Structure 1
Amino acid sequence: MIKANNLLAETRAIETRNEFGLSNTEAINIFEVLKYNANVSIIKMSIESGLYGLFIKKGEVQAILININTSLGRQYFTAAHEYYHLKYNINLNGKQKSLEKEADTFASYLLMPREALNFHLKKRLTKKNKSKIDISDCLYLENYFKISHQALILRLKLDNHIKNKEYQNLKEINITKAAKRYGYSTELYSKVKTDADIIVESDYAELAEEALEKNKISESRYNEYLIEGGYGYLVFGDDDDEL
């Protein structure tokens, strides 16, 4: 059985941040980072199979499909997880437990580097003049780094900030109720509500339009690019256009 190389995954997360020109202490919006720094389209749609997401690479097209029927925190984590596969496991064939674990580790440290967690946790505990982490600290860190409650407390445990008993206690908390009680939005923890069947975050359509205008591609190839990039509705029309 092949074991996950978590140290390698963490190193790759930091290297990726450096490639993107990001510091190791700042929070990021992973959707925007992948869109503008990695030319990856984010396509949010309902995936009935129950998958959190998957990646697609076809020619020049790079896209990550995310199940919109999940919480925003889960969607952020999924985007980072799938980017690991897109970047390092392009020939991935089916689920391999060790690679899935590595992708989880990569996602965790890409969203919240060890240096960043240590810095902001120490800063907060010092400001509050305390040494023990409680749910208010978790909520602060989760919303700052845009990471789910489960992902945060697991990192706190793995990085030895809390013991297993504290981890179990924090795990049992109803995080949505806690967020409301402490004045935080619940969108990070709740299923995202939207009337759209598909949401695409990408500059792919703009790039295709520029190529067409400069006669770098034919109109038929332009339409193919749009369809491949998840913009088929621009080619075939949208029901709303008929209203």
Structure 2
Amino acid sequence: MINAQLNPERLKLARLRRKMTYIALAKATGLSSKSVAEYEKYESLFSPTPQTVALLAEKLNYPESFFYGDDIDCVSPSSVSFRSTKSLKAADQHAAEAAATLGLLINEYFENHFNLPASNLPNYRDFEPEAAAEAIREEWGLGVKSISNMIHLLEVNGIRVFSLAENTLDVDAFSFWKNNTAYIFLNTQKTGERSRFDAAHELGHLLLHRHGTPQGKDLEEEADEFASALLMPRRAIIATKMGFPTLDGIIALKGNWKVSAVALIVRMKNVGILSEWQYRTLMVEATRKGLRVSEINGVERERSMIIEKILNALKKDNVSLYDISKKLSLPVEELSNLLFRFALLQGGTGGFQSSTKTKPTLRLV
């Protein structure tokens, strides 16, 4: 049911997504900042006219229909943990949180039409990171083999993965639980190796920190330890001990686990097969060659298989990305940015037809 007047929550969401303050939006629209602030209050005594809503929609680049929709189940800021909080600007954080809320809208739409994989995530709150990594490998039947695709592994175990097209590396990745469903958002600007590590890091948060912060624990350090142990199992790394470790040898070896050279050096040191001197020497050389921000012989950045399967299935029913954006009253670029920058699907202008068919079940193979 469409509301007869502007929904304040949706106006706030669009404004935050566009990284605009009250003052910035007021300046763009010619309204007063006080008016803009009032429009975002549920208890406000006045609402904007349809002409004003149209103006707000134009400046925020959102469909007018978006602002008349029902209340949105927003992501709680307290449930999302960002890694670089000291350098992270408030506008960037709020925009990312708004993107997460849009992800919830999209996921709800997908779940209404497809049977998606159920959550298969144990609670490892009291586990040490290394033990948790070994436990989840056993739980998911991975043994000590290399994880070929982190995103596919997450999705098949019920985690919803979306992309972030944020123009800042300060928002690298984040995760949260919502109604017993886990979500991970990954920045598309990272290298393939670092994106895989980010995905493993966020999985660590979901497994270790679901029910709050353990007393005296460093959450980010724990998640890093978990990611390192998950991607590079101790037994497998120890088996690669080099007599005379070189950076070229590290670069040749890192492809086995699809990790960065720096991550492999750190892991080899932590499992005890590099001396302190060897570690420092390798890190100095890696830094000199720019391997802290880029890779030699890098891997391709991973994408969502679930989203690809969904969009392909919808395309067969003549439902395009434009149709989905119309159904959700979202800009098509928001969908594209959250769905791993898929090419816009062509064809089909109608929405879903009413049907009694059973929802198709998506499977990852």
Instruction: Name the TM-score, length of structure 1 as normaliser.
Output: 0.65
Which structure carries more strand by proportion?
Answer: 1
Matched, 1:172 2:284: yes
Residue equivalent to 2:176: 56
Aligned match for 2:221, one of 98, 101, 106 = 101
Distance (whole Å) between structure 2 residues aligned to residue 64 and residue 157 of structure 1: 29
Give yes or no for the alignment of 1:8 onto 2:142: no
Pick one of 194, 205, 212 that aligns with 1:85: 205
Structure 2 match to 1:187:
298
Contact 2:169 2:187 in 1 (8 A): no
1:143 aligned onto 2:263:
no
- CA contact 2:130–2:225 (8 Å) conserved in 1: yes
Q: Structure 1 residues 159 and 240, CA, compared in 2 at 3 Å: closer, same or farther?
A: closer
Counterpart of 1:195 in structure 2 is none
Q: Which has the higher contact order (CA 8 A, sep 6+)?
A: 1
CA distance in 1, matches of 2:238, 2:263: 16
**Residues in 2 aligned to 1:49 and 1:160: alpha-carbon distance in whole angstroms:** 31
Q: Which of 126, 138, 143 is 1:23 aligned to? A: 143
Deviations along 1:137-161, one digit per CA (max 9) or x if unpaired, are 2113211111112211111112221
Match of 1:216 in 2: none
Are residues 157 and 187 of structure 1, via their aligned partners in 2, closer, same or farther at CA, if it must alter by over 3 Å?
same
Instruction: After TM superposition, give the deviation of residue 205 of structure 1 in Å.
Output: 7.8
Rate the CA distance shift 1:46–1:54 in 2: closer, same or farther, 3 A: same
Whether the 8 Å CA contact 1:27–1:112 is kept in 2: the answer is no
**Could you tell me which residue of structure 2 aligns to residue 196 of structure 1?**
none
Runs of 4+ in 1 over 4 A off after TM superposition: 174-179, 204-210, 238-243
One-letter amino acid of the structure 2 residue matched with residue 18 of structure 1? E
Q: Secondary structure at the match of 1:57?
A: strand
2:266 to 154, 169, 174: 154
Query: Using the alignment, how far apart are the partners of 1:207 and 1:161 within structure 2?
Result: 45
The answer to whether the Cα contact below 8 Å between 2:151 and 2:303 also exists between their aligned partners in 1 is no
3-state SS of the aligned residue for 1:144? coil
Compared with structure 1, are the counterparts of its residues 206 and 162 closer, same or farther at alpha carbon in structure 2 (3 Å cutoff)? closer
Structure 2 vs 1, CA of residues 57 and 6 (structure 1 numbering), >3 Å: closer, same or farther? closer
CA contact (8 A) 2:173 2:202 kept: yes
The runs of 5 or more residues in structure 2 that have no matched partner are: 1-124, 318-323, 337-341, 348-365
More helix by share: 1
The Cα of 1:63 is off from its aligned counterpart by 2.2
Deviation at 1:116, TM superposition (A): 1.1
Q: CA deviation at 1:87?
A: 2.3
How far apart are residue 28 of structure 1 and its match? 3.4
Kept in 2, the 8 Å contact 1:41–1:202? The answer is: no
Q: For the residues of structure 2 that align with 1:147 and 1:239, how far apart are their CA atoms?
A: 27
Q: Distance in 1 between matches of 2:219 and 2:156?
A: 26
Match of 1:201 in 2: 304
Structure with higher Rg: it is: 2
Q: How many residues align?
A: 201
CA offset at residue 26 of structure 1?
3.5
CA RMSD of the aligned region, Å?
4.1
Separation in 2 of the partners of 1:170 and 1:7? Answer: 31
Identity %: 24
Q: Which residue of 2 aligns with 1:132?
A: 244
Query: 1:51 Cα deviation (Å)?
Result: 2.5
* Residue number in structure 2 paired with 1:32: 152
* Gap runs ≥5 in structure 1: 126-130, 193-198, 214-219
Tell me the TM-score normalized by structure 2.
0.46
Letter in 2 for 1:161: I
What is residue 110 of structure 1 aligned with on the other side?
230
The one-letter code matched in structure 2 to 1:51 is: V
Superposed CA offset, 1:154-176 (max 9, x none): 11112221112211111122479
Compared CA separation, residues 174 and 6, structure 1 to 2 (3 A): farther
Equivalent of 2:188 in 48, 68, 72: 68
Q: Is the 8 A contact 1:54 1:64 kept in 2?
A: yes
**Residues 168, 44 of structure 1: alpha-carbon distance in 2 compared, 3 angstrom cutoff:** same
Q: Which residue of the partner structure matches residue 61 of structure 2? A: none
